[in-house]
Structure formats: C-alpha cells, structure tokens
Structure 1
C-alpha cells in the first residue's frame, strides 16, 4: 500500500471524530516517527509504499485514533518549547498555553538579569516546564515537584534525554510545610478543572489523561493555588516571582486570592486563544511594562 492510500484511509475512518487538518497532522506525525519522512518527501515521491509489517503498525495507530486516544500517547512523545518529551498515561500532554507561560517566565528573568536563578515547578508532570527553563537558563538551579512517582520517572527520563540537569522531588504539596529553599521563581500548573466542567472536556482528555493532574473539587477549586501561594510567601526571594497557569473561568478569583494573601502586584494575562490563563505575582512593585490585555492589581 502507498502512503497516499494510507492517508486516504485515515481521512475515511477518522472524519467523524476529527477535522481534516487534525487528520493530516496525525498522518504526518506518524510518517515522521515511523519513517523519518516529512511532508515534502512524500510530495516528491507520491508512490512510496510500505511493507506489510509497516502497514500493520499504521493500522494499529488508526485503531487507537478511532478511540480518540491522543496521538501523543500513541507515539509516546510530545513537542514543547522546541524539545521532545516522553509522555504516557501518568502525565498530562504538554500544551501550547503552557509554552506561553514558560516564555513569560523567561522574559521576566531576562528583564531582572538573574540568569543564575533558583526555580521550582510544582506539579511538574513530564517536567516540561523546568526542563524547558533549564534549557534556556543553563546557569540556573531548577527543581520539579510532583506527588506521582510514575510521573517523576517520566520527568527524569525527559531531563536525561534532553541532556539537562533538573532536580526532581516527590512530595504532596498540599501536605508540605516548607520548600527547603529560597527561590527566584516558583511556578505551577496545578490541577484546576472543576468537576462541574467535566461536560466540557473532550473525550480524548477525559478518557486518557490522568485525573489526578486535572481535577479539583467544586467546593474548593483554588486549593492548590492557596497552598502554593502560602508557601511562596515564605520561600520567594524579596524580588522573586510566582507564576501560575490557571482555570480560565477563575481568573478574577485567583487574582483576589493572591491579593488577599499579601501579594502586592498581581498580573493576569490572556493566552493566544483569548482566555485568562496565566498569573504573575510578586511581593514588591512590578516595574515591568505590561503587555496589551494584561490586567494588573496593585
């Protein structure tokens, strides 16, 4: 069978689940993973064929995609900040919104000229945040914390495969009394999806991504933000910064929580999709110029 025929088969069998652009993306991701071929290679050689063994691998991928299993879990990897990360059922799939958070942190560190900073990511999952920060800040000391032993195994593998040193610690942050260090940056993308929002979650997320890393109770959806912010009050350096990825529906509530705890400057930022998705907080006045659309509480 030719690759062209396989691509046609993907569209035939997946069109009821995904749009054409997504199906094309799946096809070309598998093409590169299995055969180290890109779109241009296929365009130049449209009659390339696969062996029976290779076709069996393609059909296995197709069967899994029909269940709406994420392509990243099928291939075992995801791309984030120009790096490749191993993913499995114990870790969330890194997302573009989180990339925006990483780039915001990097911008702020560069403005403060603290390239040998000390950073901790709480709820690290694949380690995509601390590993990406370490890649761009090689002189910094970077930590990642997670409750899940299995997730930390993946994070360690990702640090090794990307040839970067990040210190990973297993800890239930809700039970933590301290962080044992003082930090220039504390960052977290904690669980923030309320149970009441499950109806909005796509099947590929709800059925396959770890609920431990996704959901919080409707009664106290900001439980992780409160705990981490309280720890930040004790463990941020005087000019340190706290960054969160947040629930888009709870932006104002998150800002109010941080202000009530004593953070003197809180900046709420929208992501590329226009959702209130990120917060930066500090215990000192923030001299940084604000981006268009940022909401600042002083």
Structure 2
C-alpha cells in the first residue's frame, strides 16, 4: 500500500475533490518525490528522507492555500513542451493549445507572426518551433513575464523576438508588418470574480486576467484597430475569447472592417476563438 499517497489524499480532503486530490497525489509522488509512475499505480510505498518529509509538508501547506501545483512545480506542459511558470504569468490552458493547433493547420510555413500578451511565451514559442521558417515577435506589458518568456525561449531553443509593449497605448510604426496577429488577452470581467476558483483568483496575475465590466472588449478592440495598420492585406487575427462575448467580438470586428469573421467553439463546446481577415 502506498502510505505516502494515501496520506496526501487524506490531507487534502475538504480542500479538493477526491479526483483532484488523487491527481495531486500522483504528481507529488512521481514528479516531485521521484517515484516511478508504474510503482505508484502498483501501490508501492516510497521511503522519504527527513528532507523529503519536510518538502512534502511544505507542498501540502501550499496546496491548502490553493497555490496551483504548476507554480509549486515551477513548470507547466503545453503541446508536449515544458514551460517555466511563476505567479508572474498565467498557467497555460488546454484551450490555448487548441488555438495554436488551429493556427498550425491554417498558417503558411513562412509567416510573420505577432503574439500580443505573450505571458509565459507558450503561443509564440510553440509557433516558432513548429514553423521554423516564420518570424515570430511577442509583446507583453510585463517585464517579469517577458523575462520568463525569454528564458523559456532559450531553454526550448526557439527563435522569438520579445518586446515590452503596452498594446493599449502603442502607436505602430513602418516596421510593424505582420501576416498574423494572435492574442489571448485579459478577458475576465470584474463581475466574474465571484465565480472563480481560489487557485486562479488568489494566485494568477490579475494584470493578465481582468477587464472592466464596462469595457470587456477593450483589448480586442485595440488590437483590431492596430491590425488595420499592421497586418498585410489578407492578414489574419486569431483571438482566444471570453465565451460570454463571442457574438459581441464578431460584431466588433465586422464593424471595424474585417471580413470572413468566424466564431469557433472549443472542445467543451464553448465559444472560445474568433478569427478574422483584413
């Protein structure tokens, strides 16, 4: 019997549902304490040193405060690659993986791509790795995020140019010329805070999450306006969106002058992506 795994699950009772507690138990045993996955599933126990016991108690204390396991690990997986993450960047989501997979099916192998609000760099780096002949640029307003993204790019040997830009105030120049602009910007309204889990609300950067209730499309609108100047003819916008504002985002892009605007659902059948052509 795996006494350590059982102890972890019991310790997390009341804070996490049984399925999530079991998943956290596996991650702690296998990815942090070094147990072989096959031994974990066979129910074999692990002998912990005093240092490892202390580490385990520290991890459980952090989980009791709803700190995401990705921040405890210091990394998250995205499309088969490992990205460093800290509370200075959002944890990559499966929906964003869907967005990148969609782009990889549609983009030319030789494209000039701009990722607005890059965070950990997961979108930009994944595109640069899968489309090595393309030129990928990534913006973020946060210096901390750019530092993490640049470190991820170096570790994964990707070719991405990172620039600190505030998209809400940036004025384009002649050198800004792209075939594609992609963005997963802040889109959670303040009113939606009460529905959010503690591990997101208390730990992930609010700068990358929230927009005012009075202007939920502020980033999409600004990027759309910039796209009119920065995109080549026929260039495309790819947005990950708040599922509550799919039709509003489509209407805004049509009014701004984009064509072939389409709204697509994610694997959970929620409105999640909007694609538009200049």
TM range (shorter): over 0.9
Distance of 2:263 and 2:21 partners within structure 1: 35
Specify which of 146, 150, 159 is matched with residue 156 of structure 1: 150
Post-superposition shift, 1:26?
A: 1.5
Q: Which residue of structure 2 lines up, in the alignment, with residue 296 of structure 1?
A: none
Q: Which residue of structure 1 lines up, in the alignment, with residue 19 of structure 2?
A: 21
Tell whether the 8 Å contact from 2:3 to 2:45 is kept in structure 1 after alignment: no
**Counterpart check, 1:134 vs 2:128:** yes
Q: Which residue of structure 1 lines up, in the alignment, with residue 106 of structure 2?
A: 108
Instruction: Render the CA deviation track for 1:194-221: whole Å, top value 9, x for unaligned.
Output: 1111111111100001100000111111
Distance of 2:76 and 2:30 partners within structure 1: 13
Distance of 1:58 and 1:257 partners within structure 2: 50
Distance of 2:34 and 2:154 partners within structure 1: 23
Tell whether the 8 Å contact from 1:30 to 1:75 is kept in structure 2 after alignment: no
Tell me the secondary structure at the aligned position of residue 168 of structure 2. helix
Q: Which residue of structure 2 lines up, in the alignment, with residue 203 of structure 1?
A: 198
**Counterpart check, 1:175 vs 2:169:** yes
Tell me the secondary structure at the aligned position of residue 115 of structure 1. coil
Matches within 5 A, 1:41-190: 41-44=39-42, 46-109=44-107, 114-178=108-172, 180-190=175-185
Tell me the secondary structure at the aligned position of residue 46 of structure 2. coil
Distance of 1:242 and 1:108 partners within structure 2: 12
Paired residues, number: 277
Post-superposition shift, 1:19?
A: 1.9
Post-superposition shift, 1:31?
A: 2.7
**Counterpart check, 1:34 vs 2:29:** no
Post-superposition shift, 1:80?
A: 0.6
**Counterpart check, 1:231 vs 2:231:** no
Specify which of 253, 256, 263 is matched with residue 248 of structure 2: 253
Instruction: Render the CA deviation track for 1:83-108: whole Å, top value 9, x for unaligned.
Output: 10111111010000110011111111
Instruction: Render the CA deviation track for 1:213-262: whole Å, top value 9, x for unaligned.
Output: 00011111111000000111111122211000001100000000000001
Matches within 5 A, 1:207-226: 207-226=202-221
Distance 1:5 1:119, change over 3 A: same
Distance 1:247 1:45, change over 3 A: closer
Tell whether the 8 Å contact from 2:35 to 2:46 is kept in structure 1 after alignment: no
Tell whether the 8 Å contact from 2:100 to 2:127 is kept in structure 1 after alignment: yes
Gaps of 5+ in 2: none
Aligned-CA RMSD value: 1.4
Q: TM-score, normalised by structure 1?
A: 0.89
Gaps of 5+ in 1: 284-298
Distance of 1:131 and 1:141 partners within structure 2: 11
Tell whether the 8 Å contact from 2:29 to 2:40 is kept in structure 1 after alignment: no
Q: TM-score, normalised by structure 2?
A: 0.96
Distance of 1:43 and 1:188 partners within structure 2: 40
Tell whether the 8 Å contact from 1:28 to 1:38 is kept in structure 2 after alignment: no
